[in-house]
């Protein structure tokens, strides 16, 4: 058992423990555990960054003998960042819920820990079956978080979220089982890749396309790729703030991570052949998401649609099959987790104060809550891709990668950047400037120290990721180079 | 024909579980008459002991597998698996029933004796190697279940349920018997192995063999509630007492599947190209009808009835795959299905209360706030029924569809799994009302979770989780036994 396994098991142990505590004790214990888990996970960073292209902290033991299912886990230069983002955002999500969650408190924190367990598992699995298990495990706590602690239409949103994901993932299960038979009885991702390489395993083009689609649809629902995104606005708007943060920052990344980890390396030819329609959908998503965000009267919905737009960039980057594009996509995955996570937190803070998510109920917040407004502005600028802040790096690299392959992709995707400035700054103008109403003046107070504690790491990351990319990019690049090396078969090279 | 008609000791030993159960059943009936008006829970414990002894005998018999009584009985791993399964179902049913019966003031030895006799029939079905034996097993099992379905004789719904079950059931068994008669006429034997030998020569007229197989399939499909012979199930499950619904949806079904696999994989092996397409259509129809009809249900017993039809459809998928992997999947699936279904009905039993007042899905509103223990139990069981990983239900489904894909039944696997996504909707409704709704009138004055019922809930839930995390517990044995002693 290595440090990675401990990082995985701790949330599960904490989940079981917190479930048996009550009220404040549960809350404190949960936050304590989440912080410990974060500190433990930091220990993963050093060794992984030393060898980002390889799998670090690998464990490989049999779970079930027949069919051969292995507990095979490990992290490389991409998954490490997603795991750290998970372990960082879990305690933060707990802290922002400190006052907001008043009923059924222990369960709330327990579900967050269970979700953390599932997410860490997804990002470290190197066995297709194991991956599927964690993938589904994530579903249950999020379903309960939305359904119990959400807003008015929470039940509808929770059920829709569950069914959409479930419907997508059953097809993936068919594909996983099919691969098992074809690969000579193994779910092991590393072995499957090795067999694909030395020719022991070969998928016919049509076969490969079907398998690719079965995986891709499951992931595309999660991303969500236009036109499979309709569950997202509902889930986001109805979820409690912590749920929205986890959903936007991490659960959407399960989809893009799945594409990067499984779709591209296992079915490179199919992925390459399908890139045009997929990129078209991604660009439609970028523009459509931005246009819909522009007309949203509801802040949370606006941020939710902006996620559709931002995630379109990630998918675009992944399917450029270009080093810069894929690097940018991964960078954007993490950057979006930070900035959109922070946006949802800030919107949540406003809701806690004024009990409204409608933009028209605000105005002049800058006068009565200057610090909150400043932090919101920084986050807004990060989100619209201002240079020196995190999203800029990802979007720039994606556009660069896209432009190298086809300039028109970059042109249309670039529209999304412009539109994002429109909807975010317009939101900022309407909510934070202008005359201050009596309601707002009365209710909207400035940030509390607890809120500062949750926001400082987010702001720091936005700036750090924007200024000093050297911390993050080399490891991401190294992993991606390794992956692209596997992907670029002769056929793809010839097609270029 | 061997000259010596006297069975050897080893043969009696192979038949010991049925002998023990019959003796204990009779004993319970005698004790019932002797104990007069006293509390009859102790008879329940006697029956439990009897079942446990029979289970031990079944396990012991597996150490010396083979035929018995002029090859009318076969003891192999497959038979042992199903024997232990139906015996376990009997035990769980008794644990679920005791408290319910006391509250309904209907606690009597007859009930336990009927359960024991019904289990004798199912156990016999599991190890029968001969068509007449199968018929006798089905009849013993069914006649006891007909009475059990109408056990609360002052209850109108019980009466309706029993009558419906009896009429339809006897009609279906008649089909089975007719099929047996045909096959005897065609092959001159009722022994499964001999039928297989004769049919593999290919001299018997194919069409007539097909018809006799179809006639037998009608009878068996009725017992497992596979479409289009599933219509009885929702009415009967809804009308019977909840513990009996638990029993009927598990034991008889598992035993009938055992028979189905043994007859079709052994005797009708050589005409598999005839029955496989029929099974393909039936399994798909069963899944679709079960799941889509369940979407409409408000009554939880009816919903579970339709869900159990859908689950029969999943098992049929594994039977259709016609392989050793498929057989192992049938076995594993039925084991986990019995656990989760009996567990779910145990919760319904607890919730329903006097005269089964609270059997709507909505009656579970707000249970999470009132009774976290039962909520946790039902959550695990429902997630297992949905097929969420780390539960037995998921692993069963995985094995079933893996068997289908291995046998190149790609479309059946895809359609079946999409079906299970549909199923998620109605199962989720139970979770939705339990967690997301506010408590209503039905959750006022919740009864405590009585001793034996609590045991049943814990055993089923922990069993479900254990099968999900350590499927090797029974999968290894199932795989070893999946070749059938032909």
CA A430 – CA A296 distance, rounded (Å): 12
| Pairing, β B66-68 against β B73-75 | antiparallel
Query: Cα(A310)–Cα(A287) distance, rounded to whole angstroms?
Result: 10
Q: Is the pLDDT of residue B173 over 70?
A: yes
Q: Choose among A489, A494, A53: nearest CA to A271.
A: A489
The count of residues in chain A is 496
Band (pLDDT 50/70/90 cuts) for residue B283 is very high
Phi, psi of A75 (to 5 degrees): -135, 145
Task: Name residues whose C-beta falls within 8 Å of residue B254's C-beta, 6 or more positions apart in sequence.
Answer: B82, B85, B86, B89, B122, B334, B337, B338
Nearest to B472 among A65, A163, A180 (CB): A65
Nearest to A170 among B410, B418, B470 (CB): B418
- Residue-wise pLDDT for A329-343, tens only, equals 999 999 999 999 999
Nearest Cα residue to B234 out of B292, B315, B177, B155: B292
Which range, A351-360, A390-399, B198-207, is most confident?
A: A390-399
- The CA distance from B249 to B352, in Å, is 18
Q: What pLDDT is attached to residue A268?
A: 86
Q: What single DSSP character describes residue A164? A: H
Do the strands A69-75 and A56-64 form a parallel or antiparallel pair, or are they unpaired?
A: antiparallel
Residues 6+ positions from A443 with CB-CB distance below 8 Å: A353, A354, A355
Look-up of token digits 């039902």? B378
Identify which of A155, A163, A170 has the shortest CB distance to residue B436: A155
Is A447 inside any structural domain? yes
Residue A29 has pLDDT above 80, yes or no: yes
Residue A103: the pLDDT is 81
Tokens of A317: 């980057």
A373-387, pLDDT tens digit by residue? 899 999 999 998 888
- Contact list in B for residue A181 (CB cut-off 8 A) is 402, 405-406
DSSP label at B225? T
By percentage, how much of chain A surpasses pLDDT 70? 98
Q: What is the C-alpha separation between A230 and A250, in angstroms, rounded?
A: 18
8 Å CB contact between B330 and B458: no
Angstrom distances, CA of residue B475 to CA of B59, B327, B392 = 16, 11, 11
- Out of A148, A162, A170, name the one closest to residue B420 (CB): A170
Are the C-beta atoms of residues B61 and B39 closer than 8 Å to each other? no
Question: Nearest chain A Cα to B480, which residue?
Answer: A66
> Which residues of chain A make contact with B401, given a CB cutoff of 8 A?
173-174, 177
Chain position carrying tokens 């990129």: A279
Could you tell me if residue A408 is inside a domain? yes
Contact B126, B255 (CB under 8 A): yes
Q: Are B188 and B272 in contact (CB under 8 A)?
A: no
Taking 70 as the threshold, does the pLDDT of residue A270 lie above it?
yes
The beta-carbon neighbor of A147 closest among B435, B470, B479 is B435
Rounded to an integer, what distance in angstroms lies between the CA atom of residue A401 and that of residue A313? 11
Cα separation, B54 vs A234, in Å, equals 55
Judge whether residue A486 has pLDDT over 80: no
Q: Provide the 8-state DSSP code for B267.
A: I
A76 within domain boundaries = no
Predicted pLDDT of residue A490: 47
Residue range of the domain that includes A314? 274-496
Q: B5-33: per-residue pLDDT in tens?
A: 778 888 888 889 999 999 999 999 898 88
Q: What is the CA radius of gyration of chain B?
A: 21
Confidence grade of residue B182 (pLDDT, cut at 50, 70, 90): very high
Q: How confident is the model at residue A489 (pLDDT cuts 50, 70, 90)?
A: low
User: Domain limits of chain B?
Assistant: 10-481
Banded pLDDT at B175 (limits 50, 70, 90): very high
> Does A285 reside within a domain?
yes
Q: Does residue B75 sit in helix, strand or coil? A: strand
Predicted pLDDT of residue B460: 94
A267 DSSP 8-state letter: S
CA dist., res. A19 & res. A111, Å (int):
9
Check: CB of residue B384 under 8 Å from CB of residue B467: no
The region, left, alpha or beta by phi > 0 then psi within -120 to 50, assigned to residue A57 is left
Structure tokens at A5: 């396994």
Query: pLDDT-based confidence at A323, cuts 50/70/90?
Result: confident
Compute the C-alpha angle A135/A137/A143, nearest 5°. Answer: 105
pLDDT of residue A493: 53
Choose among A110, A145, A128: nearest CA to A185: A128
Distances (CA, A) of A329 to A476, B5, B194: 10, 80, 66
Residue tagged 């017993």 (tokens): B301
The tokens describing B5, both together, are 């008609």
Give residue-wise pLDDT tens across range B39-68. Answer: 777 888 899 999 999 999 999 988 888 888
- Lowest mean pLDDT across A12-16, A23-27, B190-194, B371-375: A23-27
Instruction: Using an 8 Å CB-CB cutoff, list chain B residues near A143.
Output: 428, 431
The answer to whether A494 touches A271, Cβ cutoff 8 Å, is no
Place of tokens 């009930």: B111
**CB contacts, 8 Å: A178 with chain B:** 405, 410
Q: Which two tokens stand for residue A223?
A: 């991303």
Which residue from A139, A140, A148 is facing B436, i.e. has the nearest CB? A148
Q: For residue A492, what pLDDT is reported?
A: 58
pLDDT at A494 over 60: no
B425 and A147 within 8 Å at the Cβ level: the answer is no
Q: Do A133 and B369 touch (CB under 8 A)?
A: no
- Measured CA to CA in angstroms, residue B50 lies from A40, B9, B80, B90 at distances of 54, 21, 17, 10
For the record, the structure tokens of A27 come out as: 């809350």
Q: Do B414 and A177 touch (CB under 8 A)?
A: no
**Sequence-distant (≥ 6) Cβ neighbours of residue B55 within 8 angstroms:** B17, B83, B84, B87, B88, B91
- Domain count of the fold of chain A: 1
Kindly tell me if the per-residue pLDDT of A344 is higher than 60: yes
- Residue A465's SS3 state is helix
Q: What is the per-residue pLDDT across A194-224, written as a single tens digit (0 to 9) for each?
A: 888 888 888 888 888 999 999 999 999 988 8
Q: By percentage, how much of chain B surpasses pLDDT 90?
A: 47
Per-residue pLDDT tens over the stretch B453-473: 999 999 999 999 999 888 888
Residue B396 CA to residue B373 CA, distance in Å, equals 25
> Does residue A100 contact residue A352 with C-beta atoms inside 8 Å?
yes
Q: Answer yes or no: are the C-beta atoms of A432 and A356 closer than 8 Å.
A: no
* Per-residue pLDDT reduced to its tens digit, A104-137: 888 889 999 999 999 999 999 999 999 999 999 9
Interface residue B421 vs chain A (CB under 8 A): yes
The string of pLDDT tens digits covering residues A411-454 is 888 888 889 888 999 988 888 888 888 877 788 888 888 889 99
Tell me chain A's radius of gyration from C-alpha atoms: 22
A333 belongs to a structural domain: yes
The answer to whether B472 contacts A132, with C-beta atoms less than 8 Å apart, is no
**Please, what is the average pLDDT of chain A?**
88
Please determine, for residue A66, whether its predicted confidence score (pLDDT) is greater than 80: no
Chain A residue with minimum CA distance to B426: A159
Residue B284 confidence (pLDDT) above 70: yes
Contact B122, B160 (CB under 8 A): no
Determine the Cα–Cα distance for residues A58 and A297; give it in Å rounded to an integer: 48
**Residue A451 belongs to a domain:** yes
CA distance B336 to B460: 9
On the CB side of B421, how many CA atoms lie within 13 Å of its CA? Answer: 22
Interface size, chain A vs chain B, as Cβ–Cβ contacts under 8 Å: 84
In a domain, A259, yes or no: no
Residue of chain A whose Cα is closest to the Cα of B427:
A159
pLDDT above 90: residue B306: yes
Which chain A residue's Cα is nearest to B369? A104
Q: Rounded to the nearest 5°, which phi and psi values hold at A62?
A: -70, 135
Distance between CA atoms of A398 and A390, rounded to whole angstroms? 13
Which residues of chain A make contact with B389, given a CB cutoff of 8 A?
132-133, 136-137
Query: Average pLDDT, stretch B415-442?
Result: 87
Q: What count of other Cβ atoms lies within 10 Å of the Cβ of residue B219? A: 26
Best residue in B432, B473, B475 for a mutation probing chain A (most A CBs within 10 Å): B432
Minimal CA separation from A163 to chain B, in Å:
7
């Amino acid at each position: 058992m290595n440090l990675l396994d401990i990082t995985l098991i701790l949330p599960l142990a904490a989940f079981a423990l917190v479930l048996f505590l009550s009220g404040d004790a549960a809350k404190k214990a949960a936050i304590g555990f989440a912080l410990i888990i974060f500190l433990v996970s930091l220990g993963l960073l050093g060794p992984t960054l030393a060898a980002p292209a390889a799998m670090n902290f690998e464990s490989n033991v049999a779970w079930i003998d027949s069919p051969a299912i292995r507990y095979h886990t490990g992290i490389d230069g991409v998954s490490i960042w997603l795991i750290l983002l998970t372990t960082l955002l879990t305690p933060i999500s707990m802290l922002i819920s400190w006052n907001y969650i008043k009923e059924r408190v222990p369960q709330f924190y327990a579900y967050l820990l269970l979700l953390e367990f599932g997410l860490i598992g997804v990002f470290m699995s190197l066995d297709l079956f194991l991956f599927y298990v964690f993938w589904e495990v994530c579903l249950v706590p999020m379903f309960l978080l939305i359904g119990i602690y959400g807003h008015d239409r929470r039940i509808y949103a929770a059920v829709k979220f569950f069914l959409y994901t479930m419907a997508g993932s059953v097809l993936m299960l068919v594909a996983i089982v099919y691969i098992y038979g074809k690969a000579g009885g193994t779910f092991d991702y590393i072995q499957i890749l090795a067999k694909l390489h030395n020719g022991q395993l070969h998928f016919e083009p049509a076969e490969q396309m079907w398998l690719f689609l079965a995986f891709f649809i499951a992931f595309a629902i999660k991303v969500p790729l236009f036109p499979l995104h309709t569950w997202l606005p509902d889930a986001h708007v109805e979820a409690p703030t912590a749920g929205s943060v986890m959903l936007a920052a991490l659960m959407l990344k399960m989809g893009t991570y799945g594409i990067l980890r499984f779709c591209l390396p296992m079915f490179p030819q199919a992925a390459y052949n399908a890139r045009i329609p997929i990129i078209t959908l991604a660009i439609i998503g970028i523009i459509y998401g931005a246009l819909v965000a522009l007309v949203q009267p509801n802040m949370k919905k606006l941020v939710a649609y902006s996620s559709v737009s931002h995630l379109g960039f990630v998918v675009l980057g992944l399917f450029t099959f270009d080093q810069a594009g894929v690097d940018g996509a991964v960078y954007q995955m993490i950057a979006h987790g930070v900035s959109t996570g922070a946006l949802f937190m800030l919107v949540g803070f406003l809701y806690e104060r004024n009990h409204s998510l409608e933009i028209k109920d605000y105005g002049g917040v800058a006068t009565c809550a200057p610090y909150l407004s400043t932090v919101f502005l920084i986050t807004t600028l990060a989100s619209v891709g201002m240079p020196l802040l995190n999203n800029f790096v990802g979007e720039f690299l994606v556009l660069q990668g896209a432009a190298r392959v086809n300039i028109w992709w970059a042109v249309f995707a670039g529209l999304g950047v412009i539109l994002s400035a429109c909807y975010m700054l317009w939101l900022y103008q309407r909510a934070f400037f202008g005359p201050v109403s009596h309601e707002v003046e009365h209710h909207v107070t400035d940030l509390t120290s607890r809120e500062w504690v949750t926001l400082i790491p987010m702001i720091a990351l936005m700036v750090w990721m924007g200024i000093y990319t050297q911390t993050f990019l080399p490891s991401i690049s190294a992993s991606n180079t390794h992956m692209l090396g596997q992907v670029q078969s002769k056929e793809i090279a010839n097609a270029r | 024909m061997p000259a010596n008609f006297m069975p050897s000791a080893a043969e009696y030993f192979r038949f010991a579980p049925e002998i023990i159960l019959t003796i204990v059943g009779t004993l319970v009936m005698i004790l019932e008459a002797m104990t007069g008006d006293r509390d009859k829970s102790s008879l329940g414990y006697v029956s439990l002991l009897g079942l446990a002894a029979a289970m031990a005998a079944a396990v012991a018999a597996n150490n010396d597998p083979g035929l018995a009584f002029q090859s009318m009985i076969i003891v192999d791993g497959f038979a042992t698996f199903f024997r232990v399964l139906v015996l376990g179902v009997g035990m769980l049913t008794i644990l679920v029933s005791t408290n319910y019966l006391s509250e309904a003031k209907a606690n009597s030895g007859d009930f336990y004796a009927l359960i024991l006799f019904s289990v004798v029939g199912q156990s016999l079905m599991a190890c029968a190697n001969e068509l007449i034996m199968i018929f006798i097993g089905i009849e013993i099992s069914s006649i006891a279940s007909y009475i059990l379905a109408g056990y609360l004789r002052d209850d109108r719904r019980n009466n309706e349920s029993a009558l419906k079950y009896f009429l339809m059931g006897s009609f279906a068994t008649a089909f089975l018997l007719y099929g047996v008669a045909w096959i005897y006429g065609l092959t001159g034997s009722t022994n499964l192995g001999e039928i297989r030998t004769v049919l593999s020569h290919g001299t018997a007229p194919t069409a007539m063999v097909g018809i006799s197989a179809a006639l037998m399939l009608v009878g068996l499909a009725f017992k497992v509630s596979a479409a289009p012979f599933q219509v009885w199930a929702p009415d009967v499950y809804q009308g019977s007492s909840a513990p009996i619904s638990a029993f009927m949806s598990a034991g008889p079904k598992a035993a009938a599947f055992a028979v189905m696999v043994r007859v079709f994989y052994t005797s009708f092996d050589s005409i598999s190209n005839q029955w496989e397409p029929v099974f393909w259509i039936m399994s798909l129809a069963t899944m679709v009808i079960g799941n889509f009809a369940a979407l409409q249900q408000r009554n939880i017993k009816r919903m579970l009835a339709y869900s159990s039809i859908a689950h029969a459809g999943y098992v049929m998928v594994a039977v259709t795959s016609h392989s050793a992997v498929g057989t192992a999947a049938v076995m594993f699936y039925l084991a986990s299905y019995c656990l989760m279904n009996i567990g779910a009905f145990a919760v319904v039993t607890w919730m329903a209360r006097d005269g089964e007042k609270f059997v709507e899905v909505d009656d579970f509103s707000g249970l999470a706030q009132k009774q976290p223990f039962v909520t946790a139990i039902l959550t695990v069981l429902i997630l297992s029924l949905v097929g969420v990983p780390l539960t037995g239900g998921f692993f069963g489904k995985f094995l079933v569809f893996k068997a289908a894909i291995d046998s190149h039944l790609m479309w059946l696997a895809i359609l079946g799994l999409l079906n299970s996504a549909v199923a998620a909707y109605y199962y989720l409704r139970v979770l939705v009302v339990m967690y997301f709704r506010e408590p209503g009138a039905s959750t006022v004055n919740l009864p405590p979770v009585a001793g034996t019922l609590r045991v049943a809930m814990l055993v089923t839930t922990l069993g479900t989780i254990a099968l999900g995390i350590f499927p090797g517990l029974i999968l290894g044995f199932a795989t070893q036994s999946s070749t059938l002693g032909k």
